[in-house]
Amino acid sequence: MSEDIKNKVEAHFSRSAALYRTSAVHAKGEDLPLLPQAAALQGDEHVLDAGCGAGHAALAVAPHCARVVACDLSAAMLAQVRKLAQERSLENITTQEADVEQLPFADETFDVVLSRLSGHHWPRPKAALDEFARVLKAGGRAVLVDNVAPDDDPATDTFWQMMEYLRDTSHVRAHSVAQWRAMFEAAGFTVEVRHRWEKRLAFQSWVERIGTPHFHQAMIKTLLDEASQAVHEWLQIDEQYNFTLHAALFVGVKAS
């Protein structure tokens, strides 16, 4: 099952790679300017962007560190990273095909590991965090950004996961803040939530970006039409099916 999900991730995002390079949801965001500070970059660090997609996190930190390795399952996504780095004259970014759950790097290689908007596709997120801890130096930082589910509302949580799966069948789960905290701590990190925010998504671009089949789009709209009051309050659904996502930025520090 884990390999099947990873194959879907690679296939789905490879065919949509160019759209993720230009997507405002991914290329912008109030979290991107926060990444250098969250990573405590001083200019000489070696950074890994794990599950990098089109590389927007790598691009955000590259001017503030010595070297960034951007890794992803999708070679097509890595081509977008290289294209963006060239466009911005960033020569300290390299790319590597890699699985976040089996990183091809030696122990204690990096000062910082970043991961942005990738965690909800990981079949075994605790295994990924264990790998982050392994490749980080003592005192290193794992900075993770992802969409988050509600902590104390199982019905709304289930609704959101169904929506995401219908939109993209490589989706595994958007975890809650409490769940991410527990996984970070189990991997040996001291963790804090550095920032939380909301982001408004246009339904049509959300489904078109990943190529959601039309019958799945119709199913999502039916779900939204029948949503409970609690779901409406969480997602802030409007008449065009546009809605709001909740996101969080976590900083985990490995013991010295």
User: Which of 66, 126, 120, 54 is CA-nearest to residue 91?
Assistant: 66
User: How confident is the model at residue 128, as a pLDDT?
Assistant: 97
144-199 tens-digit pLDDT: 999 999 999 999 999 999 999 999 988 999 999 999 999 999 999 999 999 999 99
189-239 tens-digit pLDDT: 999 999 999 999 999 999 998 889 999 999 999 999 999 999 999 999 999
How much is the mean pLDDT over the chain? Answer: 92
Residues whose CB falls within 8 Å of the CB of residue 124, separated by 6 or more in sequence, listed in order: 2, 101
User: Could you tell me the residue ranges of all domains in the chain?
Assistant: 2-151+169-199+246-254
DSSP 3-19: HHHHHHHHHHHHHTHHH
User: Which of 70, 71, 137 is CA-nearest to residue 110?
Assistant: 137
Between CA 198 and CA 130 the distance in angstroms is 28
Between CA 40 and CA 34 the distance in angstroms is 10
Range 22-49 average pLDDT = 89
The pairing of strands 136-147 and 110-116 is parallel
- As beta bridge partners, residue 249 has 145, 195
Between CA 133 and CA 153 the distance in angstroms is 31
Backbone φ and ψ for 103, nearest 5 degrees, come out as: -70, 135
Residues 133, 187: contact at Cβ < 8 Å? yes
Question: Is the pLDDT at 5 greater than 90, yes or no?
Answer: no
- As beta bridge partners, residue 191 has 252
User: How confident is the model at residue 110, as a pLDDT?
Assistant: 98
Question: Is the pLDDT at 17 greater than 60, yes or no?
Answer: no
User: Which of 47, 113, 54, 76 is CA-nearest to residue 252?
Assistant: 113
Question: Is the pLDDT at 23 greater than 90, yes or no?
Answer: no
User: In Å, how far from its chain's centre is CA 68?
Assistant: 17
Q: Which CATH superfamily is domain 2-151+169-199+246-254 in?
A: Vaccinia Virus protein VP39 (3.40.50.150)
Residues whose CB falls within 8 Å of the CB of residue 56, separated by 6 or more in sequence, listed in order: 26, 27, 29, 32, 84, 116
- As beta bridge partners, residue 94 has 69
Between CA 47 and CA 44 the distance in angstroms is 10
- Length of the chain measured in residues: 256
Kind plus residue range of the DSSP H or E element containing 71: strand 67-72
Question: Is the pLDDT at 14 greater than 70, yes or no?
Answer: no
User: How confident is the model at residue 256, as a pLDDT?
Assistant: 83
User: How confident is the model at residue 222, as a pLDDT?
Assistant: 97
The stretches of the chain forming alpha helices (DSSP H) are 2-15, 17-22, 24-27, 35-38, 56-61, 75-87, 125-135, 154-167, 177-186, 203-210, 214-225, 229-235
Q: Place 22 in a pLDDT band, splitting at 50, 70 and 90.
A: low
